[in-house]
Amino acid sequence: MSLMERMARVRVLCVGDVMLDRFVSGSVKRISPESPVPVLSITGMNACPGGAANVARNVASLGGHCTLISVVGSDPVAGELERAVAGIAQVSSLFIHASARATTEKIRFVAQGQHMLRADSEDSQPLAPELEQALLASIAANLDGHDVLVLSDYAKGVLTDLVVAGAIALARASGLPCVVDPKSARMERYAGATVVTPNAKEVQEVTGIDPTEDDAVAVAAGQKMLKDFDIEAVLVTRAHRGMTLVPREGLPAQLPASAREVFDVVGAGDTVVATLALVLGTGESLLEAARLANLAAGIVVGKRGTATVTQAELTEGLTRLGQGSLQSLQGKVFKLPVLLPLLETWRQQGHKVGFTNGCFDLLHVGHLSILSYSRSHCGRLVVGVNSDASVKRLKGADRPINSAEDRATVLAALAAVDAVVIFDEDTPLELIRAIQPDVLVKGADYSVDKIVGADLVLARGGQVLTSELIPGRSTSRIVDTLVKAR
């Protein structure tokens, strides 16, 4: 079972400050005559769950399951936040309502993609004792059945000293790893945590050392934290310098930043924590968890707003970094539900999605020709591969010679191929319906009116193309030659 499949089985219990992130977007074309401030002409507004709720969103988008525990007010913002969280598949919320408490709301005003102003409405007073006890009781009642605990501290009063200490003690008693995204300079609050994820500013506040200077200084800062506080590991997030992992046991590790373009860092820490938790929940090492968290952070900062990373995007990133290893090649072989969000991302990036299909039992130059032709007419190429059962029905009991998994992995090794998906039907019609390719390609032995799914693609304004065949090149001919040579 792959790491991504194991991550999908992990259940995360997330406790912390939740909030509603609201974005007011528009354009600025003039300065107000009343005072020297820009006038924002509003063109859109949207809101999404933030804080610990964004950690839960990231857990779900990466395929995991999350139970979210927090305290909110009894105001309209709380209602909007609860409805938004309820709409996230694989996330369940257990919110405690405090009538005297305002639910945190952050409103960001954005013009031409740039933040102009942020306005916060919040009550960051520590929870009253009765609310602390109710929160701890909820954690104790729900910890069983989960694989990892996350404490998402935004310093809005939910994670008091008592709640933090009690939650970590409960996790340790249950043998669960505890991931903490800290906000307080009083790092002793998080004693007993498996790993804390402070940013450079927070590390400097705690240690007096600026971890952005160089890698050795970052390690020194992390080691000072381990010396001063009862924490198993520190993962220092250093923006464009990447991350530095300093464990109590083992050697430090430097993880270079993987972002290709930075649009927005809002919520990037939530993505790091969610990824760490899911990977640790599978039983993988902290180093592997940090490596994937660093990759996920590099993906999410390339998006605008309070964003998440999908399992498909993380898989694609691993493939890009894998440099041709067998594991990375297998990472290009997708199940359809995982592939579909990746297709949407590709289209948002401006790529046409192409599709072709076949059995590809013994890869030969004829296959390479059609794959190369297909890729030259699109930005990203998806290849559909018939399953073993499908090949037997189409080609006979002696076929396939190679399993579907092997055939898919070989195809994934080709530079022309961006994704491979195995289908069990005799034709790729249902796959084409789901993928909705912009370009559909088959060999020239098919006329366009005989190509399965051509009508669907043409109806959407797509292209249907045929690739010239190389005479005498076919899998059946190769098989016949081998049989005769026996």
Q: What are the pLDDT digits (tens) for 113-148?
A: 788 999 999 989 999 999 999 999 999 999 999 999
At residue 264 the predicted structure's pLDDT band, cuts being 50, 70 and 90, is very low
Residue 112 in contact with residue 27, Cβ under 8 Å? yes
Residue 180 in contact with residue 193, Cβ under 8 Å? yes
What is the radius of gyration, based on Cα positions, of the chain? 26
Pairing of strands 18-31, 38-51: antiparallel
At residue 297 the predicted structure's pLDDT band, cuts being 50, 70 and 90, is confident
At residue 282 the predicted structure's pLDDT band, cuts being 50, 70 and 90, is very high
pLDDT of amino acid 262 = 41
SS3 call for 442: strand
pLDDT digits (tens, 9 = 90+) for 365-402: 888 889 999 999 999 999 999 999 999 999 888 889 88
pLDDT of amino acid 414 = 87
Pull the structure tokens for residue 213: 């200077």
Residue 236 in contact with residue 244, Cβ under 8 Å? yes
More confident residue, 213 or 156: 156
> Per-residue pLDDT averaged across 10-15, rounded?
97
Amino acid present at 452: V
Contacts of residue 160, Cβ cutoff 8 Å, sequence gap at least 6: 126, 127, 132
The whole-angstrom separation of Cα 228 and Cα 220 is: 12
> Per-residue pLDDT averaged across 53-59, rounded?
94
Most confident region among 94-98, 350-354, 472-476 by mean pLDDT? 94-98
pLDDT digits (tens, 9 = 90+) for 401-430: 889 999 998 898 888 898 999 999 999 999
Q: What angle do CA 36, 42, 46 make, to 5 degrees?
A: 130
**Cα of 354 vs its chain's centroid, Å:** 24
The whole-angstrom separation of Cα 221 and Cα 211 is: 6
Fold held by 3-19+48-111+123-309: UDP-N-acetylmuramoyl-L-alanine:D-glutamate ligase (3.40.1190)
pLDDT of amino acid 260 = 45
What string of H, E and C letters represents the secondary structure of 367-389?
HHHHHHHHHHCCCEEEEEEECHH
The residue to which tokens 């995360």 are assigned:
12
What sign has the CA pseudo-torsion 50, 54, 57, 58?
positive
Q: Would the pLDDT of 66 be above 80?
A: yes
DSSP string, 285-344: -HHHHHHHHHHHHHHHTTSSSS----HHHHHHHHHHHHTT-HHHHHTTEE-HHHHHHHHH
pLDDT digits (tens, 9 = 90+) for 142-178: 999 999 999 999 999 999 999 999 999 999 999 999 9
Residue 47 in contact with residue 21, Cβ under 8 Å? yes
**Catalytic annotation present for 270:** yes
> Per-residue pLDDT averaged across 268-279, rounded?
92
Query: How many other C-beta atoms can be found within 10 angstroms of the C-beta atom of residue 87?
Result: 9
pLDDT of amino acid 429 = 95
Contacts of residue 114, Cβ cutoff 8 Å, sequence gap at least 6: none
* Nearest CA among 81, 90, 75 for reference residue 52: 81
Pull the structure tokens for residue 262: 């930075």
> Per-residue pLDDT averaged across 102-123, rounded?
90
In degrees and rounded to multiples of 5, residue 25 shows phi and psi of: -110, 155
The whole-angstrom separation of Cα 248 and Cα 261 is: 33
Over the chain, what is the mean pLDDT?
88
Q: Would the pLDDT of 100 be above 70?
A: yes
Residue 428 in contact with residue 384, Cβ under 8 Å? yes
| Distance separating the N- and C-terminal Cα atoms of the chain | 38
At residue 326 the predicted structure's pLDDT band, cuts being 50, 70 and 90, is very low
Amino acid present at 223: Q
Q: What is the strand order of the sheet 18-31 is part of?
A: 38-51, 18-31, 105-111, 114-121
pLDDT of amino acid 320 = 62
pLDDT of amino acid 319 = 64
> Dihedral angle at the C-alpha atoms of 344, 312, 236, 21, nearest 10 degrees?
40
Q: Would the pLDDT of 80 be above 80?
A: yes
DSSP string, 16-78: E-EEEEEEEEEEEEEE-SSSS-EEEEEEEEEEEEEEHHHHHHHHHHTT-EEEEEEEE-SSHHH
At residue 475 the predicted structure's pLDDT band, cuts being 50, 70 and 90, is low
Residue 51 in contact with residue 103, Cβ under 8 Å? no
CA distances from 324 to 80, 371, 409 (A): 46, 19, 11
The whole-angstrom separation of Cα 152 and Cα 360 is: 48
pLDDT of amino acid 305 = 59
The domain 336-485 having CATH identifier 3.40.640.10: the answer here is: no
pLDDT of amino acid 225 = 95
User: Annotated catalytic residue: which of 21, 153, 264, 270?
Assistant: 270
Contacts of residue 207, Cβ cutoff 8 Å, sequence gap at least 6: 221, 224, 225, 228
Residue 132 in contact with residue 96, Cβ under 8 Å? no
The whole-angstrom separation of Cα 36 and Cα 143 is: 54
The domain ranges of the chain are 3-19+48-111+123-309, 336-485
Looking at 148-228, list the stretches that DSSP marks H as alpha helix, in order from N- to C-terminal side: 161-173, 200-207, 215-228
Q: Would the pLDDT of 479 be above 60?
A: no
The residue to which tokens 């890869």 are assigned:
363
The whole-angstrom separation of Cα 430 and Cα 423 is: 9
pLDDT of amino acid 480 = 60
Q: Would the pLDDT of 349 be above 80?
A: no
Pull the structure tokens for residue 91: 């996330």
pLDDT of amino acid 261 = 46
Residue 67 in contact with residue 176, Cβ under 8 Å? no
